[in-house]
Amino acid sequence: MPEETLSITDNRTATSYTIPIEHGAIRAMDLRQIKTSPEDFGLMTYDPAFMNTACCQSRITYIDGDKGILLYRGYPIEQLAEHCTYLEVAYLLLYGELPTAAQLEEWAQAITHHTMLHENTKRIIEAFRHDAHPMGVLASAVAALSTFYPEAKNVHDPAVRRLQILRLLGKIPTIAAYAYRHSLGYPYVYPDNDLSYTENFMNMLWRMAEPKFQPNRTLARALDVLFILHADHEQNCSTNAMRSIGSSLADPYLTMAGAIAALSGPLHGGANEAVLRMLNEIGSKDNIPAFIKKVKAGECKLMGFGHRVYKNYDPRARIIKQIAEEVFEVTGRNPLIDIARELEKIALEDEYFVKRKLYPNVDFYSGIIYQAMGFRPEMFTVLFAIGRTAGWLAQWQEMLEDPAQKIARPRQLYLGHARRDFVPMEQRAVAELVR
Ligand code: CMC
């Protein structure tokens, strides 16, 4: 058996070090012993955007980006999408095992009991302008929940934590639906606890004057599967924000508001909205070659393509493509799907995309389905956030229970001025400013 160590020779001092390798990684702190003198701080690694740095040990989600594999707690995403409900998957992510029938019933009931919002939260949502972006509304309303549940700050108490997890899973669809109704000027619809998690969400979105909302089963199942596909994705930008903010022991509402903010960006969850705008801009298949030319010239990006980890087809995109056909049987075909499919075909044959291993990601087809269901593009990332809530909470909980974790506090390489003395106003010259 070869030794699981790394030998390093520091050519500055001609000193050699042996560093243990565990799980295919070395500990960055083991590099600190590499010094040129006793006063030297010690060697650090420089890794902008965490391209090659593991910030935690996790047992939740596994991705093999080269093979296009995604597992939640060891179960392939394809099997979970086929057989589970979103709440079953949320349980799996949070507790590590699939629930029994009795556990699932108790879990679903517990979450259902927390779907109501305090009326003041409703008023907070009412205060936004009619054209407020729902991601801003969502982040603000989730942050505001912190003020309603001050006990939530006891993050080390497992019972308190569980209650906030139930509240967040229960209330996030209600906030999302209220944000949606607010943008349309419609009255808010209170939760209907006879319905399943996703059906109730549809009820809060779309019920009008009818006494009881009758959800379309195919659309409810499609939306539920979309929530499953978005439920977790290991250490992505928003999950990293969740862990990083949570490491200060901030309460889960304020912490998750930060994760929602991170998700909103167009390089992350906001890409689904950007894809739809891009497809609308392209407008017809005939315009695709000219658009691809612009992408290759670096003038814009092919939104919904590429991924930091997947260098193969994103398995979630494959499932979403299948769901699209089922949804279109109910809603009618969204013509943008034909532009998307042609764009994908051309891109996957083009050397630019092949060489860079750029494949469709989860956001490439999801917006087309959401639009067919009747959502406006501004809501797409909100739908992503509903699904991701389970993953954020599972990762937050794992971080809090991990004895190796402390407050997140990266290092920097300081390249600025050395110490210098204050210059009085009258002696200052116009200098070139740094940005
Ligand atoms: N269109 C055109 N070129 C691209 C794209 C794209 N979508 N994505 C990457 N590239 C090029 C990039 O310009 C670079 O080329 P070069 O080597 O010539 O400089 C090369 O591919 C490597 O890209 P990168 O930017 O270094 O890769 P990254 O890992 O930093 O970025 C990404 C990953 C997802 C931010 C990026 O692929 C991207 O911006 N994609 C479009 C936005 C998008 O769809 N985001 C959703 C991601 S999946 C869901 C989620 O996380 O929320």
- The 10s digit of each residue's pLDDT in 247-268 is 999 999 999 999 999 999 999 9
In this prediction, residues 355-367 reach a mean pLDDT of 93
How many angstroms is it from 296 CA to the middle of ligand 1? 12
Test site for ligand 1: of 235, 307, 343, 380, most ligand atoms within 8 A of the Cβ: 307
- 271-373 to CATH, choices 2.60.120.650, 1.10.230.10, 3.20.20.220, 3.30.70.260: 1.10.230.10
Ligand 1, atom 2: closest residue by C-alpha: 301
Closest by CA position to 156, among listed 241, 86, 251: 251
Q: What is the pTM of this model?
A: 0.95
What are the residue boundaries of the structural domains of the chain, listed by start?
A: 75-267+377-398, 271-373
Tokens coding 238: 């928003």
Which residue bears the tokens 């300081």? 414
pLDDT at 8: 98
Q: Is 307 tagged catalytic?
A: yes
User: Is 290 a residue whose pLDDT tops 90?
Assistant: yes
Q: Is 268 tagged catalytic?
A: yes
Tokens coding 233: 């994705």
Mean pLDDT over all residues of the chain? 96
How many angstroms is it from 267 CA to the middle of ligand 1? 8
User: Is 435 a residue whose pLDDT tops 70?
Assistant: no
Name 368's Cβ contacts closer than 8 Å, sequence gap at least 6: 276, 279, 324, 334, 336, 337, 340
Question: Could you tell me if 345 and 100 are in contact, meaning their C-beta atoms sit under 8 angstroms apart?
Answer: no
Q: Is 235 in the pocket of ligand 1 (CB under 6 A)?
A: no
Q: Of 64, 268, 350, 402, which one is the catalytic site residue?
A: 268
Q: Is 306 in the pocket of ligand 1 (CB under 6 A)?
A: yes
Provide the sign of the torsion angle of the four alpha carbons 290, 296, 301, 307, taken in this order.
positive
Q: CA-CA distance, 91 to 397, in Å (whole number)?
A: 13
pLDDT at 434: 73
Closest by CA position to 370, among listed 222, 193, 203: 222
Residue 64 is given by DSSP the state: E
pLDDT at 1: 72
Closest by CA position to 290, among listed 340, 338, 343: 343
Long-range contacts of 347-354 (CB under 8 A, 24+ apart): 347/292, 347/302, 347/305, 350/292, 350/296, 352/295, 352/296, 353/302, 353/305
Model pLDDT for residues 16-54, shown as the tens digit of each residue: 999 999 999 999 999 999 999 999 999 999 999 999 999
Tokens coding 61: 């989600």
Fold of 75-267+377-398: Citrate Synthase; domain 1 (1.10.580)
Same fold? 75-267+377-398, 271-373? no
Q: What's the Cα-to-Cα distance from 34 to each of 3, 48, 55, 103, 376, rounded to whole Å?
A: 21, 21, 21, 52, 55
Q: Is 131 tagged catalytic?
A: no
Q: Is 304 in the pocket of ligand 1 (CB under 6 A)?
A: yes
Q: Is 59 in the pocket of ligand 1 (CB under 6 A)?
A: no
pLDDT at 431: 82
pLDDT at 391: 98
Model pLDDT for residues 420-432, shown as the tens digit of each residue: 999 999 999 988 8
Test site for ligand 1: of 356, 362, 388, most ligand atoms within 8 A of the Cβ: 356
The three-point CA angle 415-418-423 to 5° equals 125
Closest by CA position to 344, among listed 322, 333, 359: 359
